[in-house]
Chains A and B, each alone.
Chain A
Amino acid sequence: MSKTENILDLIDAGIKAETLRQKAIANNIANLETPGYRRVDVKFEELLAKCLRSSGEFDLSEVEAQIYRPKQTPVKSNGNDVNLEAEIGQMIKNTLRHKTYIRLLSKKYNQIELAINVK
């Protein structure tokens, strides 16, 4: 796998994960008062780090972001553990990460375009 592809694939995987996480947060906020609902989160960075640590080749497209229920936050009296403030914090972080990935991607495309236009 060449280096250029690798960077594009990394950014691509990151954007996919952030999109999924945004969905998870939206779902959590929508279920703010649903009795018995436990919040969902997305596991991606840990999986990516594990792949990067392991020696040898790996396919980035196989690093899929996973949805899971952490079940660590304190539960309210109706069995629900969603906290609006915490979700908003997650959302802000997610938005900033997403923006970073998008900017990196456009930067990379500019670079490639520059290379194409060199005469």
Chain B
Amino acid sequence: MVAGVFESNRDQKGTRKGTEQMKVNSSFDPIDIAISGLRTQGKQMKVISSNIANARTSDAGNGEPYRRLEATFKSDDDLGGVELDKIVTDMSDFLKVLDPGNPMADENGYVAMPNVSLPVEMINMNIATKMYQANVAVLKRYQQILETTLELLR
């Protein structure tokens, strides 16, 4: 991609500064931003599906039930799109389920279950889906805009 140069009065951190030359990508930038949205929402779906798949995993390999994961997002600079920051574990209390027949049950008959709440995961999944669709909509619309510009060249 050919990089265009334009005058900007902001530096890389987005704070206002004296005029200086900043390199930016040419008119394809919105595509990259929309694609970054698609990629992060895809990763978010991965995290949600892990949570849902492990909603009843009483042993995550370390003797403890599975701990819910949560993805956080960050944006690099002014127009850098979005990216996955990190995947953190939810440290809230485990769910206690009364199941005296379970071999993992304590003396009172309770079994610790993951701190995953299915309704919350479903809502998060809906949000992730809508975000994905919104980014696809931006992508499609921007493509249309460029096509109308190209019509001028006919």
Contacts and interface: CB of A to CB of B under 8 A. Distances in A.
A92 B153 contact: no
Interface string A76-115: 0000000101101100110010011001100100000000
Interface in B119-147: 139, 143, 146-147
B69 interface: no
Contact of B39 (A83, A100, A107): A83
Interface residues of B, number: 17
Q: Is the interface of A mostly helix, strand, loop or mixed?
A: helix
B35 A96 contact: no
A64 interface: no
B38 A100 contact: no
A58 B130 CA distance: 51
Interface residues on A, range: 10 to 19
A100 B42 contact: no
Interface stretch (B26-34, B72-80, B109-117): B26-34
Contact of A89 (B32, B150, B153, B154): B32
A85 B34 CA distance: 10
Interface string B79-119: 00000000000000000000000000000000000000000
B1 interface: yes
A54 to B, nearest CB: 17
Interface string A32-56: 0000000000000100010000000
A89 B28 CA distance: 10
Interface in B18-67: 28, 31-32, 34-35, 38-39, 42
A88 B2 contact: no
A96 B42 CA distance: 25
A96 B39 contact: no
A104 B154 CA distance: 8
Given A86-B35, A89-B32, A89-B35, A96 B2 contact: no
A92 B31 contact: yes
Interface of B: 1-2, 28, 31-32, 34-35, 38-39, 42, 139, 143, 146-147, 150, 153-154
